[in-house]
Amino acid sequence: MTAKKSALGRGLGALLESSNYERADGSNIGANSTGAIADIPLNLIETNSEQPRKEFDLELLEQLADSIKHQGIIQPITVRKISNNKYELISGERRFRASKLIDLKVIPAYIREANDTEALEMALVENIQRQDLNALEIALSYQHLIQDCDINMEDLGGKVGKKRSTINNYLRLLKLPNSIQLGLREDRISMGHARALISIESEQDQIYIFNEIIKNRLSVRQVEELSRKIQDKNTIITKTKIGLPFKYEKLNTKLSKQFGKGSIIKRNIKGKGSINISFKNDSELDLLIDKLLNL
């Protein structure tokens, strides 16, 4: 019995290209079964430690498991043979995990011949084509394809169906501070928020705006406007005048208004400095102390 391969998406389809696949019985999978669709026992399949996706939503897995229970596996997973009785998962880990939740014994799978690099490439390309990945997962997948699979930007664009500029925008996310990358992974901020933060050179300013996004639920437009203000401030700073990071500049302005003084916070390029509040006499000192104690 033969079954035609279903459409899988541009990049993955090219990687999995082959003619028709033969149906095989899982109990009789032999050395010549590469290229077939086989019902493989789940306990013979190992997950790939290099799988780019590390986190799976349990509620969504349970929903998928319920669908599989009623409709079966619509699209087979993809594996490669690593020994006579063992297979390694290339793509379809959500289907694999969901099937285990409902205690399925076997799962239909394409058996592919692939080395370590080819297997990783297939897994990454399939992941990128998914709709439920967050921006950081996509960025990390692009980085893996370039670094670990030795794919240049032009070929990568062809495999995943994306423009070079789009891929670059994702890769730039990996230059953000770790705390912001975590926020992106956890969907606390969007790709639009992150792109606005990339334009800020100071890491302290980036983290300040990130915290403002979380605290005040800033829109992407508001973040872009705040980023422009910081860029404009930084543009007019000369080499002989070291400006304060934005969050300290804002505090400095607040303190100056509070105490009716000039610049209070002073800081050099290495982050060393002082907080100075001048006074003319004891009466003014007493007034300053009262204000400080009541802040």
For the annotated catalytic residues, the residue numbers are: 93
CA distances from 199 to 79, 93, 166 (A): 42, 36, 16
Spatial distance between the Cα atoms of 233 and 228, rounded to a whole number of angstroms = 9
Spatial distance between the Cα atoms of 122 and 19, rounded to a whole number of angstroms = 18
Nearest to 121 by CA among 48, 189, 63, 58: 48
Q: What is the largest CA-CA distance in the chain?
A: 98
Spatial distance between the Cα atoms of 115 and 125, rounded to a whole number of angstroms = 15
Helix, strand, coil shares, percent, the chain, to 5:
50, 15, 35
Partners of 45 in the β-ladder: 87
Both tokens of 22, joined, read 């033969």
**DSSP letter assigned to residue 138:** H
Residue for token digits 């026992």? 41
136, 181 contact by CB (below 8 A): yes
